[in-house]
A = this chain, B = another copy of it.
Amino acid sequence: MSTITLLTDFGLKDTYVGLMKGVILSVNPDAVIIDITHHVDPHDLRQAAFIIKSSYRYFPAGSVHVIVVDPGVGSRRAIVALTMMGQTFLAPDNGILTLIVDEGDIDAIVRVENSDYFLKAVSQTFHGRDIFAPVAAHISLGVDLERLGTPIAKKDLVLIRISKPYVGKKDELVGTIVSIDRFGNCITNIDSDCLAAFINAGKSKKLQVAIGQSKINGLSLNYESASLQSPMAIIGSSGYLEIAVDCGSARRYLGAAKGDAVHLILSN
């Protein structure tokens, strides 16, 4: 039980991530630390919530996932540790875990309060280094969650509203772009189950995806199966519908941005 993942909005320009790793290794020299990414858009809790939901299952059993997107650092927001599915999630209690809590049965949740497991001097602006890092290292060493603070119930967790796809007028399915990757692929909040249910309800009708002024007919199976330089709709590797352009950028092609609506229409 020694893999610790880091998911933050700290970027890699500064020393924030390096110092967290130094503190972790000072507590547990055998910890294996993996960066999920440090480029969550600053303070974007919803993006972080999507990322951890679609990432955790690819890490070893016993992993400790440390999520620090924390605009409320230094305020009274709590820090929580949650164990489920054989993994532990350590995060500010600000809604980042909203999409995790329904992934399975929760074994334990605590509000992290025991400063015996913090650095001796805790700053008001960098709990990542002073609280999250040493607490995660102690968890990876086998410290029981209950020693870290007060057990709380699932209903006590702060949750945030994360927009879900909905059926709009004219029986359209309306989703949202939640993330755009390095290649310009635009990832929506429409997962494959939701898409399958929508398509099946339309029986033999044909799918059309509308985004801005562009319309895409049908789903592609892989990046190469669409026409070169034309946008395609495809179920991406995280299990969500995405709009992509083979050997190009859907973001640039469509002038798309995070938060843009994507409309799915079934017609004959």
Residues of A at the B interface (CB closer than 8 Å) are: 2-3, 5, 10-19, 21-23, 25-26, 29, 32, 34-39, 42-43, 51, 54-55, 58-60, 63, 71-75, 123-126, 129-130, 181-183, 221-225, 234-237, 246-247
Interface of A is mostly: loop
B126 touching A55 by the CB < 8 A rule? no
User: Which chain B residue lies CB-closest to A27?
Assistant: B60
Quick one: which of B23, B59, B74, B223 contacts A26, CB cutoff 8 A? B59
User: A199 CB to closest chain B CB, in angstroms?
Assistant: 17
Q: Is there contact, CB below 8 Å, between A181 and B14?
A: yes
CB within 8 A of A182: which of B22, B35, B42, B222? B42
Q: Which of B182, B235, B236 contacts A11 (CB 8 A)?
A: B182
Within 8 Å CB of A181, what residues of B? 13-14, 16
Could you list 24 A-B pairs, sorted by A, with CB under 8 Å? A13-B181, A13-B182, A14-B37, A15-B55, A19-B36, A21-B34, A22-B63, A23-B58, A25-B32, A25-B34, A26-B59, A26-B60, A42-B182, A43-B247, A71-B224, A71-B246, A71-B247, A73-B223, A75-B225, A123-B236, A123-B237, A124-B222, A124-B235, A125-B222
Q: How far is the CB of A24 from chain B (nearest CB, A)?
A: 9
CA distance A247 to B42 in the complex (A): 8
Q: Which residue of chain B is the closest to A239 with respect to CB atoms? A: B123
For A36, list chain B residues within 8 Å (CB). Answer: 15, 18-19, 22
Q: Are B22 and A222 interface neighbours, CB within 8 A?
A: no
Partner of A37, one of B12, B75, B235: B12
Give the Cβ gap from A164 to chain B, nearest Cβ, in Å. Answer: 21
Task: Find A22's partner among B34, B42, B126 (CB 8 Å cutoff).
Answer: B34
Q: In whole angstroms, what is the CA distance A166 to B32 when docked?
A: 44
A2 vs B11: C-alpha distance when bound (angstroms): 26
B75 touches A222 (CB 8 A): yes
Whole-angstrom distance from the CB of A56 to the nearest CB of chain B?
A: 9
Pairwise interchain contact B126-A237, C-beta atoms closer than 8 A: yes
The answer to whether B222 and A60 have CB atoms under 8 Å apart is no
CB neighbours of A18 from chain B (8 A): 5, 34-37, 55
Q: Contacts of A26 on B, CB cut-off 8 Å?
A: 58-60
Nearest opposing residue in chain B for A126, CB measure: B237
Q: Which residues of B contact A35 (CB under 8 A)?
A: 12, 17-18, 21
* Given A75-B222, A125-B236: A55 touches B247 (CB 8 Å cut-off): no
Inter-chain contact B60/A129, CB cutoff 8 Å? no
B5 x A58 contact (CB < 8 A): no
A37 CA to B17 CA, complexed, in Å: 8
